[in-house]
Amino acid sequence: IPAQWKGIQMTEKIALKEIKEKIIIALDVKSQSEAAKILELLPEARIFKVGLELFTAEGPGMIELVRSYGHQVFLDIKLHDIPNTVAGAVRAAVRQGVSMLTLHTSGGKEMMSRAMDAAREEAEKAGLRTPLLLGVTVLTSLKEKDLEEIGFRSEPQTQVLRLAGRALQSGLKGVVCSPHEIELLRREHGTDIKIITPGIRPVWAEAQDQKRIMTPAEALVKGADYMVIGRPIIQAANPEEAFARVVKELEAAV
């Protein structure tokens, strides 16, 4: 076997590993048993999202469950409260070993910077890596009219840019946004910002309630660091195959 061949294989392996770490599987289910079923079906996935429904139903045990499979947890509970309360929740999440955590940027700069300090301190105490704190900008369900009704006078995109800017100023390292805002944020902040995006639909999957969708390859090329994918994989007839298909599409795109 030529030495080079081995080299190429190594590179391919690394690329494959990195690609898998760009996909976050949304555990959008009601119970621990359903979550465990998905974890069993997707041994190749690396990061799983525990969201509000599952976390409220089953609690922090869900973080433990995902970690017991050796995977990373993206805890998407969009914290939004006074700085002291949010900082306390962040500390608790860090102790549970989450790798990524969301909070609302509209909670303000103090809330975000106190959250960041709490994450750093608690991780250091526990000897863990500081989790990636991500700011939620504008929920994908809100349109211009909805924003106006709650007193936000600017267009969604302007609002996303403003909130993402405040998030970075407060020490956060990234944001959650629609795939259609990736370019805007990359133009403004280059690689200083980590971007996570939902609204991902492979061409072979149905859109369901997702409106402004993009394929995994498109989102990757536009500059998404991570993409959250739920139903196209977890509700597929064969989730493992659906996951492998997305990975293949991403590989072809890089």
State residue 42 phi and psi, 5-degree precision.
-125, 65
Amino acid identity of 214? Answer: M
Residue 215 found at the interface with ligand C5P (CB under 6 A): no
Considering only 156, 216, 230, 239, the residue that binds ligand C5P (CB under 6 A) is 230
Instruction: Mark residues 39-58: x for contact with ligand C5P by CB under 6 A, - for none.
Output: ------------x-------
194 included as an active-site residue: no
Compute the distance between CA of residue 236 and CA of residue 59 in angstroms, rounded to an integer: 26
Stretch that binds ligand C5P, among 38-46, 89-97, 151-159, 205-213 (CB under 6 A): 205-213
Contact call for residue 210 and ligand C5P (CB under 6 A):
yes
Residue 140 buriedness (CB in 10 A; 0-12 / 13-18 / 19+):
buried
Q: Which of 95, 120, 231, 248 binds ligand C5P (CB under 6 A)?
A: 231
Q: Shortest gap between Cβ of 76 and ligand C5P (angstroms)?
A: 6
Contact (CB, 8 A) for 50 and 82: no
For the segment 79-138, give every residue that binds ligand C5P (CB under 6 A). Answer: none
CA–CA separation, 135 and 41 (whole Å):
30
Q: Is 206 in the site for ligand C5P (CB under 6 A)?
A: no
Per-residue binding letters, 164-203, with ligand C5P (x by CB under 6 A): ----------------------------------xx----
- Using CB under 6 A as the binding rule, the residues of this chain from 11 to 40 that contact ligand C5P are 26, 28
Question: Which residue lies nearer to ligand C5P by CB, 156 or 198?
Answer: 198
Q: Which of residues 130-169 bind ligand C5P (CB under 6 A)?
A: 140
Closest approach, Cβ 246 to ligand C5P, in A, equals 11
Nearer to ligand C5P, 72 or 210 (CB): 210
Number of residues that bind ligand C5P (CB under 6 A): 14
In angstroms, what is the minimal distance from the CB of 138 to ligand C5P?
A: 11
Q: Is 229 in the site for ligand C5P (CB under 6 A)?
A: yes
Catalytic residue among 6, 22, 78, 109: 78
> Which residues are known catalytic residues?
78
Which parts of this chain interact with ligand C5P (CB under 6 A)?
A: 26, 28, 51, 140, 198-199, 208-210, 228-232
